[in-house]
């Protein structure tokens, strides 16, 4: 982390090539911005717990460990004891594949083996440490689709020697039981879609399943970066959209219409957003739009209008118009 990490350089995360359009690595700058939304006293407590249940590069866990290392310095002066405590008691992850598990351990422990010679942690007795990949399987229904994620059996029904992409977090693995820990914070960047076996290169969104499952675990805080397509609903997203827009525990949503502002070189149709969900909060949501680096925002109920209004600049105009109680155009002309 500081002296203990001398000779190690785990910060390769700004130059990693993405695995695919479905699994996009998170830039360190974005991970830091998401962590900035959390109450910063979490990083000064020796009992706060964090998990990324869809680790790809380990960037979230690495940044969390770095902040904890600074925040706990006065409470735990001995650096090795402090690092061991953080990595064994506070920072946890579930990987999405064998490759991402190794990359994540390299980022967090400075070694792909948590108990390896070059690991900065000294208390682990297994190579996985607290970044694990439990083996799970898809549950196929009669239509050849997975009951948990909607994946196509023709695409993902594979033998033991190949990755099946049955992500543990949404295929029956409860990290609270796996690690015997209740989590204060769930954070991450979930896979976005999986092939559903439809015509051509058809794929179904999957990120909403990670958000829904995370809420079921009732952490104190939840923050994820996901495509913004859910704003309009659509394929597999209508129920998720309705639930999100009516959830008054959402403190903020930061929306980027152009995904390249946060994921350089990556095209995500409709843009991306990250949000902060607070279990103990009930109120309006800060909707922040970022276009070309310019931020505009409103604080509002997300379901204030029957159609979700994405651009915060439009809200005052719509409110002024609706306040006049005059007949709308839809009542005066036909769509035909």
Residue 145 lies in a domain: no
Residue 14 lies in a domain: yes
Non-local CB neighbours of 65 within 8 Å, separated by 6+ positions: 1, 83, 86, 87, 90, 91, 108
- List C-alpha distances in Å: 324 to 76, 129, 317, 320, 321: 61, 62, 11, 7, 6
pLDDT score, position 204: 84
Residue 194: other Cβ atoms inside 10 A: 23
Distance CA 232, CA 291 (A): 19
Q: Are residues 5 and 123 in the same domain?
A: yes
Specify the number of domains making up the chain.
Answer: 2
pLDDT score, position 189: 96
pLDDT digits (tens, 9 = 90+) for 215-260: 999 999 999 999 999 999 888 899 999 999 999 999 999 999 999 9
Residue 105 lies in a domain: yes
Q: Are residues 1 and 128 in the same domain?
A: yes
Residue 116 lies in a domain: yes
pLDDT score, position 334: 82
Q: Are residues 2 and 129 in the same domain?
A: yes
Strand partners, 203: 195
Q: Which residues of 242-277 are buried (b: 16+ CB within 10 A; e: fewer)?
A: eebbeeebbbbbbbbbebeebbeeeebeebbbbbbb
Length of the chain: 336
Q: Are residues 130 and 251 in the same domain?
A: no
Distance CA 241, CA 238 (A): 5
> Quick check: 93 and 55 in contact, CB under 8 A?
yes
- List C-alpha distances in Å: 131 to 64, 74, 111, 124, 161: 14, 27, 12, 11, 21
Q: Which domain holds residue 234?
A: 228-325
Q: Are residues 4 and 130 in the same domain?
A: yes
Q: Are residues 6 and 129 in the same domain?
A: yes
Residue 281 lies in a domain: yes
Q: Are residues 127 and 11 in the same domain?
A: yes
Residue 148 lies in a domain: no
What residue ranges of the chain have pLDDT lower than 50?
Answer: 3, 6-8, 10-12, 15-17
Residue 299 lies in a domain: yes
Residue 209 lies in a domain: no
Q: Are residues 127 and 3 in the same domain?
A: yes
């Amino acid at each position: 982390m500081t002296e203990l990490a001398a000779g190690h350089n785990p910060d390769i995360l700004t130059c990693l090539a993405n695995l695919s359009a479905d699994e996009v690595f998170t830039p360190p700058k974005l991970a830091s911005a998401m962590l900035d939304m959390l109450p910063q006293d979490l990083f000064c407590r020796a009992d706060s717990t964090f998990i990324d249940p869809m680790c790809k590069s380990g960037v979230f866990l690495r940044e969390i460990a770095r902040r904890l290392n600074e925040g706990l310095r006065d409470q735990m002066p001995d650096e090795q004891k402090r690092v061991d405590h953080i990595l064994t008691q506070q920072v946890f992850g579930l990987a999405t594949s064998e490759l991402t598990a190794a990359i994540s351990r390299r980022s967090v422990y400075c070694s792909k083996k948590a108990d390896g010679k070059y690991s900065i942690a000294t208390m682990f007795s297994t190579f996985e440490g607290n970044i694990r990949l439990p083996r799970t399987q898809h549950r196929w229904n009669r239509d050849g689709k997975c009951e948990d994620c909607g994946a196509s059996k023709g695409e993902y029904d594979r033998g033991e020697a190949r990755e099946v992409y049955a992500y543990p977090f949404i295929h029956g693995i409860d990290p609270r039981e796996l690690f015997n820990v209740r989590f204060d914070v769930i954070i991450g960047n979930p896979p976005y879609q999986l092939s559903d076996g439809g015509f051509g290169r058809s794929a179904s969104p999957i990120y909403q399943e990670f958000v829904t499952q995370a809420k079921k675990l009732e952490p104190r805080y939840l923050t994820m970066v996901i495509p913004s397509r859910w704003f309009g609903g659509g394929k597999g997203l209508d129920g998720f959209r309705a639930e999100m827009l009516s959830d008054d525990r959402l403190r903020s949503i930061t929306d980027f219409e152009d995904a390249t502002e946060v994921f350089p070189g990556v095209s995500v149709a409709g843009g991306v957003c990250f949000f902060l969900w607070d279990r103990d909060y009930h109120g309006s949501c800060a909707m922040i739009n970022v276009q070309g680096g310019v931020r505009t925002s409103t604080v509002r109920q997300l379901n204030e209008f029957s159609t979700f209004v994405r651009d915060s600049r439009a809200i005052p105009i719509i409110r002024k118009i609706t306040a006049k109680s005059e007949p709308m155009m839809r009542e005066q002309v036909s769509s035909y």
